[in-house]
Chain A
Amino acid sequence: MQKISEVKQEAIHVSEIIAQNKQKKNVSNLVEKWIPTILFLLASITILTTLGILYTLLSQAIQFFRAVPIWEFFTGAVLKPLSQNPEFGILPLINGTLISTAIAMLVAGPIGLMSAIYLSEYASEKVRRVLKPLLEILAGIPTIVYGFFAFTFVTPLIRSIFPEVGATNILSPGLVMGVMIIPMIASLSEDAMTSVPNAMREGSLAMGATKLETTFKVVIPAAFSGIIASFVLGISRAIGETMIVTIASGSSKNFTFDITQSMQTMTAYIVEVAGGEAAAGTTIYYSLYAVAITLFVFTLLMNLFARYISRKFREEY
């Protein structure tokens, strides 16, 4: 009782304090008013940068297409930029890019998805808490390290079993790129699967479905758009990956489907050309931009495709 009366004596007039503070608030009102504009400007930096990049690429690529007809560029199967009679066909580069990406996804897709299934459906909370950060550390390793690993470890390993494989080949960087992408797919797919409400799993288990059936018939379909998104991000990453293929796949501009041979990807070509052999203003210099814009279009198409797929197969919950 005594305590209550003490409190009453030194009563705090909260409403008065609030009223006083309200008067001071004029400055913060101004901030409140301008905040949307400031945030909008900050957000538009990304958009402006993208537009800037697009402008640079296009304006320089046009220079290239003045020298080499666009049709010849996109259908040419021979790429000999440094020869006496240079030929600029991009097909060998597209081929190299697609093959290395396919190898990488054959590794990263299944392993990444299975890891995600393990982490989200089977692993105990304890195991998950250790494994997930570990996976994400794997994702933080610089790609040059992976490139080195492919060149000095994986390639010799493959060659010790299959001696006919070249010292530089597309197989080894493809595999290592796959390993690099696993954490990305595993982590994003796991996020998508853990966010499927437990009530759905219970609904399936209560009908006599096994855990595996529940995982494949309820959880994965429900998380499908997230899983597809992770795959597409993986593919985009593989298409854009540069260092690993530059180091371990060499620079032969072979147009072949033989994965034991050296091939060049679009990114590796850009590295090679930008690496100094081409003087500014030459056709070979401008070809860099033509390849870059092709790369840009590829990634753009991938993202549009991802949106389409995930919208089409979306299971809303």
Chain B
Amino acid sequence: MGVIANKMGLQVNPTAKESIAKKINTQKNNIVYDTKELNLWYGHTHALKNINLEIHEKEVTAIIGPSGCGKSTYIKTLNRMVELVPGVRTTGSISYKGNNILGKTMKVEDLRTKVGMVFQKPNPFPKSIYENIAYGPKIHGIRNKKLLDQIVERSLRGAYIWDELKDRLNENAFGLSGGQQQRLCIARALAIQPDVILMDEPTSALDPKSTLKIEELVQELKKDYSIIMVTHNMQQAARISDRTAFFLNGEVVEFDNTNKIFSNPSDKRTEDYISGRFG
């Protein structure tokens, strides 16, 4: 846990334009994550450079950019999974509902209870479907069998997979198809009722049909959850996100409403990227 060395107090006055934008946004929606001056190094590699980003509640925020641009690193910083890599160092602050998650007082377990994650490759546990969903609640002390049954049903319904799986709850999760496994993993994340769901390229290992299902699911989920999704697929970002951040070489090039980014980007590099000129 001591991996993250954090420097606080590097507050920089936001420009007038930014503060106006901020006002408009806060009126519309609350901010879940407020990233300020975030820098991150893997050893000597400077992977994230001075990131400033505000993530809004109950919206889908897409993070796009070419491979190696730091988008996965950024999303993993939001639940501090990035610390699993040895030799990671950060400066700056990420405030999650007012608490700096990079601060020493933040317990990662508490943070990750509130911030669920879905990974690139479906990673169910080698247990039954039921046990996969019940895992989180059990870890957090829920023992009541009836309550667990309810949680399992509600979570599977929440991920729109209940009808497919209700008769197979005791089967091993590894018997499911890739797309089903991924929706099971989403249901698993829902089981502990997080506020935020981080999705790290959740459809990149799936076929188009399963991808479509996940995208529809994300649209439903944003009614109750704030979703931050890294994606390689620009059409996907355009289809399902409310805001899009474009990362390049560890920097945020542009962050705006998705419509704006895809119809009228202000930065030339964004335009080049979304029009397929590189990446």
**Proximity bits, A183-203, B CB within 8 Å = 1, else 0:** 000000000000001011011
Contact A200 B126 (CB under 8 A): yes
Q: Which of A7-15, A205-213, A226-234, A301-309 contacts B (4 or more CB under 8 A)?
A: A205-213
Question: Given the complex of chains A and B, what is the CA–CA distance between A221 and B79 in angstroms?
Answer: 25
**Proximity bits, A213-242, B CB within 8 Å = 1, else 0:** 100011001100000000000000000000
Contacts of B174 in A (CB 8 A): 316-317
Q: Is B84 interfacial (CB 8 A cutoff)?
A: yes
Q: Is A258 interfacial (CB 8 A cutoff)?
A: no
Interface residues in B85-103 by Cβ distance below 8 A to A read 86
Given contacts A199-B119, A221-B127, A222-B125, contact A208 B139 (CB under 8 A): yes
Q: Is B172 interfacial (CB 8 A cutoff)?
A: yes
Contacts of B119 in A (CB 8 A): 199, 202-203, 206
Contact A203 B185 (CB under 8 A): yes
Contact A208 B112 (CB under 8 A): yes
Chain B: minimal CB distance from A92 (Å) = 44
Contact A200 B188 (CB under 8 A): no
A-B contact count (CB 8 A): 74
Contacts of A294 in B (CB 8 A): none
Question: Given the complex of chains A and B, what is the CA–CA distance between A77 and B79 in angstroms?
Answer: 65
Interface footprint category on B = 20 to 34
Interface residues in B71-125 by Cβ distance below 8 A to A read 79, 81, 84, 86, 108-113, 116-117, 119, 121, 123-125
Contacts of A221 in B (CB 8 A): 125-127
Contact A200 B121 (CB under 8 A): no
Question: Given the complex of chains A and B, what is the CA–CA distance between A203 and B121 in angstroms?
Answer: 11
Contact B116 A206 (CB under 8 A): yes
Contacts of B138 in A (CB 8 A): 217
Most buried by A among B119, B125, B174, B189: B125
Q: Is B136 interfacial (CB 8 A cutoff)?
A: yes
**Of the residues A203, A207, A213, contact of B124 by C-beta under 8 Å:** A203
Q: Is B48 interfacial (CB 8 A cutoff)?
A: no
Contact B84 A203 (CB under 8 A): no
Given contacts A203-B119, A205-B81, A316-B172, contact A210 B109 (CB under 8 A): yes
Question: Given the complex of chains A and B, what is the CA–CA distance between A197 and B122 in angstroms?
Answer: 12
Chain B: minimal CB distance from A218 (Å) = 6
Chain B: minimal CB distance from A205 (Å) = 7
Given contacts A208-B110, A209-B139, A217-B135, contact A315 B116 (CB under 8 A): no
Given contacts A206-B79, A207-B136, A209-B139, contact A315 B127 (CB under 8 A): yes
Chain B: minimal CB distance from A128 (Å) = 13
Given contacts A208-B136, A217-B135, contact A203 B112 (CB under 8 A): no
**Of the residues B81, B84, B126, contact of A315 by C-beta under 8 Å:** B126
Q: Is B44 interfacial (CB 8 A cutoff)?
A: no
Q: Is A251 interfacial (CB 8 A cutoff)?
A: no
Contact A203 B125 (CB under 8 A): yes
B123 nearest in chain A by CB position: A199
Contact A204 B126 (CB under 8 A): no
Q: Is B192 interfacial (CB 8 A cutoff)?
A: yes
Question: Given the complex of chains A and B, what is the CA–CA distance between A23 and B110 in angstroms?
Answer: 70
Chain A: minimal CB distance from B88 (Å) = 14
A198 nearest in chain B by CB position: B84
Q: Is B140 interfacial (CB 8 A cutoff)?
A: yes
Question: Given the complex of chains A and B, what is the CA–CA distance between A218 and B131 in angstroms?
Answer: 11
Chain A: minimal CB distance from B10 (Å) = 28
Chain B residues with CB under 8 Å of chain A are 79, 81, 84, 86, 108-113, 116-117, 119, 121, 123-127, 135-136, 138-140, 172, 174, 185, 188-189, 192
Top 7 closest pairs, chain A to chain B, by CB: A315-B126, A208-B113, A199-B123, A206-B117, A208-B112, A317-B126, A207-B136
A-B contact pairs, 7 of them (CB 8 A): A199-B121, A204-B135, A207-B113, A207-B136, A208-B108, A208-B113, A221-B127
- Additional A-B contact list (15), CB under 8 Å, known A200-B125, A213-B139, A217-B139: A124-B86, A203-B123, A203-B124, A203-B188, A204-B125, A206-B79, A206-B112, A206-B117, A207-B113, A207-B139, A208-B108, A208-B110, A208-B113, A209-B139, A221-B125
